[in-house]
Amino acid sequence: MRLLLLGAILGTATLSAQTSLLAPAAPATPAPSALAPSDIYRSVVRIEVATQVPDYATPWNSGRFSGGIGTGFLIGKNRFLTNAHVVSNGRRILITVYGSPKKYPARVLFIAHDSDLALLEVEDFTDFAAFPMLEISPGVPQLESQVRVIGYPVGGERLSVTRGVVSRIDFQPYSHSRADSHLVVQIDAAINPGNSGGPVVQGSDVVGVAFQGLRSADNTGYMIPSPVVRRFLKDIEDGSYDLYTDLGITDFPLFNPAMRKAFSLPDDGLGVLITDVLPTSPADGLIQPNDVLLAVDGSSVDSSGQVTLDGENVNMHEIIERKFAGDIVKLRIQRAGQPSEVSIKLAPVPASRLYAIQYEKKPRYVVAGGLVFQPLDTNLYASTKLENIHVRRLFGDYVRKGIFLERKDIVVLTRVESDPLTSQMEGFAGLAVDKINGTQVRDLTHLHEILTAASPPEFFVVELFGAPRPLILPSAEIAAANERVQREGSIPNLSNLKD
């Protein structure tokens, strides 16, 4: 199922007027228990964003400028909630109020690319002081219940309101990062570009944030439900946003009667098989492949990996989703036919962010003698044709096989600039660097240190994964080649080692 990304990314916040972050001072106009539609509309704003997208093909260039429209809404004093993808890579953000031509400059306070949420503030809140602050509902709307989607979709300049019915509650990928899955609610109302970041309401309560649509189906949209929103807002109460935690396990359903018998399981429809445990993850050393997971925090896990939560059957990882770094989760497992209890202290798995699209970061690179080196990540993978099987394998195994323990970066030779020094080297572009002069390259900074050493060897011998021969660079000729390449390619800097 292909999801259509409708906005950009940022975000981390706190519940409506219930936290000190969203309400650093008493609100000028407390929200009444039931707001009229006209009051809700006042607090839904149009967001215009001018963006600059980095160019990973020529990483020294400033990147492409573009723009977009999204929606946001007021949840606290000078706190506007929207999608991260609405404001990602933003260079200028302007907020417009319903029925007014005035534009208010705004900035991002917090951004959560993994949950596609962002919190904004305007430079001058005076004109918004009397606006109602919308409340985030504590629960998930029931199936078949009706909701309203409010926003500024393409096709007009004025506010749009559509109605839909909650048709599915699921655990699905979020398009913005391409690497994160969370709870989603599907509704049979179209969510078009521009709707992103707008409130989905029942009565006067916000039950979700509109964020993506299904390209292959009409009148099908998705919203980020309130548990995900509330977690984001809770996370940023300390003034910073932390990544989601992860157990670090891969599970497999146990439907097959023969498999259940092989693992000494009764025919009760409970339990999933643990197939992999990520190195250095919270579960590493506590959970093993071939363990059977039977329950999470007392909630039984069925053979498809689902638990019952708030009256709905959801993916068992939803229990982990609602926790934070340092929290304890209790698992009931069966190992070699014997049941046991395991307590795990949760933490993020930073290495897994390799598979997430990065925003608000400049591409890292090193140019040496006409050879351009870059660290492998999803941004680079998506923007260049990396077809070499060794590069693909390194990318796929980076976390699963613990490659990150030895190599912080997988460094790739992405370009070979035309120069006498690089003659006959063009065919090596797209290969990953293994060693230089017999030393394994740990990351891009390490490669740069080797190639710019104060007392270099006569030759740099660059070994590439899968290459029929190494590349030989005479160290005495690199400086002259750098000067030629920099001049002819209009390259302002020969390296960028920081994000």
For the annotated catalytic residues, the residue numbers are 85, 116, 196
With vertex at residue 111, the alpha carbon angle to CA 320 and CA 247, rounded to the nearest 5 degrees, is: 20
Rounded-to-integer distance, Cα 78 and Cα 23, Å: 8
Question: Which pair of tokens denotes residue 184?
Answer: 């989603």
410: which 2 tokens? 């997988």
Start-to-end Cα distance in the chain: 32
Q: Name the region of 438 (left: φ>0; alpha: ψ -120 to 50; beta: rest).
A: left
Alpha-carbon span 434 to 217, nearest angstrom: 45
Task: List 168's β-bridge partners, or say none.
Answer: 186
Angstrom distance (rounded) from CA 265 to CA 263: 6
Tokens 């149009």 belong to 46
DSSP state of 355: G
DSSP assignment of 301-351: PBTTSEEEETTEEEETHHHHHT--TT-EEEEEEEETTEEEEEEEE-B--GG
Helices (H) and strands (E) in the chain — how many of each? 9, 30
Question: Per-residue b/e over 464-487, b at no fewer than 16 CB within 10 Å?
Answer: bbebeebbebebeebeebbebbbe
Q: Which of 353, 329, 349 minimizes the C-alpha distance to 276?
A: 349
- Residues 72, 95: Cα–Cα separation, whole Å: 9
